[in-house]
A and B are shown apart, each in its own frame.
Chain A
Amino acid sequence: MPIALGVIPFGLIYGVLALAAGLPPAVAQAMSAIVFAGSAQFIGVQLIGAGAAIPVLWLTTFVVNLRHLLYSASIAPHTQHLPPRWRWLLAYLLTDEAFVVAILHYNNQERPLAHKHWYFLGAGLTLWTTWQISTAVGIFLGAQVPASWSLDFTLALTFIGLVIPALRERPHLAAAITAGIVALLTFAWPYKLGLIAAALCGIAVGTALEARQ
């Protein structure tokens, strides 16, 4: 499972950042276990460090993780023959990476459907375990690293690495510029509410431009 190796650096960075943002180690580790969603955790840690209010954190988590609706919309039809306890469990393990691995397996017509949920479970548990261990190592490392190393900046760099390749499409570029400008203009808004406004403006501009093309 090369994809599990791919999440290790992010687990490490998450652990380091969570401590840099002022989370106690137990909370940082618990977030990996309870939330188990990389991007929401990264953004959550950033917002906690910036002093955002709880409703803003929850609203942001909701917006950022809404994409999981898309994932479950395409995977859930394959799981309707399973007892509910299976569906409760598989839903918990449905991360970006687990989705990619599982949907490819489900779409492979040459294998029988009967055992595919075991594959999904195996992939999900492997990713879960990898995420917990790499978080723990990151927390351990984070406690040793002095603040002068500016490791908090790796978060912005991670986001740059994720967002820049998408900007080849013009509506995405427009969405990014809009969100960035609105974020600057609303920076002084309380509770980081400006982030929500900026995201919504960016989404609106991107969608509108795509519809016109």
Chain B
Amino acid sequence: MTFWLTIIGMGLITYAIRVTLFLLLERVKLAPSVQRGLRYVPTAVLSAIIVPEVLQPGGTLNISLGNARLLAAIVAAIVAWRTRNVLWTIAAGMVVLWLLNWLG
């Protein structure tokens, strides 16, 4: 029940954002400051998810070589920087994680 409420709400919110200007547009212009801010949304939101996920797996801060997810993420970040390719990034990170878990 909660699941359905959650996703129906997410759907309505998403659709409301998408449809508003299609229906109401009389040359609506977004303020330049809003447009600038929107460009930083992906960077900020994704970083806010990635950093705790990598640095505190399981809920406790672990910045050490014993943290396999941290090492996998570092390798993945290097691959992402070099290739700009999401699929290669995933592949590299998962291989490192599996290898470390297998060794450890």
Contact = CB atoms under 8 A, between A and B. Distances in A.
9 contacts: A58-B6, A67-B38, A69-B17, A77-B25, A88-B22, A164-B89, A171-B40, A179-B48, A207-B36
Interface string B24-68: 010111100101111111111111111111111001010000000
A48 interface: yes
- Interface residue tally on A, bucketed by range: 35 or more
A129 to B, nearest CB: 18
Contacts of B23: 84, 87-88, 91
Interface string A85-101: 00110111010000000
Contacts, number: 254
A75 B54 CA distance: 38
A157 B73 contact: yes
B87 to A, nearest CB: 6
A210 B56 CA distance: 31
Majority secondary structure, A binding face: helix
Contact of B36 (A34, A71, A92, A210): A210
B104 to A, nearest CB: 12
A145 to B, nearest CB: 12
B7 interface: yes
Interface of B: 2-11, 13-15, 17-23, 25, 27-30, 33, 35-56, 59, 61, 69, 72-73, 76-77, 80-81, 84-90, 93-94, 97-98, 101
A76 B25 contact: yes
A156 B81 contact: no
Contact of B44 (A30, A155, A206): A206
A69 B40 contact: no
Contact of A158 (B37, B52, B86): B86
A133 interface: no
Given A43-B49, A153-B93, A158-B90, A76 B13 contact: no
Contact of B48 (A158, A162, A182): A182
Contact of B40 (A23, A61, A175, A198): A175
B44 A203 contact: yes
Interface string A172-211: 1001111111111001000000110011111100110011
Contact of A35 (B7, B69, B90): B7
A210 B77 CA distance: 24
Give 3 closest A-B pairs by Cβ, nearest first: A202-B44, A161-B89, A180-B51
Contacts of A60: 45
Contacts of B18: 65, 68, 71-72, 91-92, 94
A11 interface: no
A31 B50 CA distance: 22
A155 B73 CA distance: 11
Given A156-B49, A160-B76, A160-B93, A87 B40 contact: no
Contact of A70 (B27, B30, B40, B76): B30
The interface centre, meaning the residue of A24, A164, A183 with most chain B CB atoms within 10 A of its CB, is A164
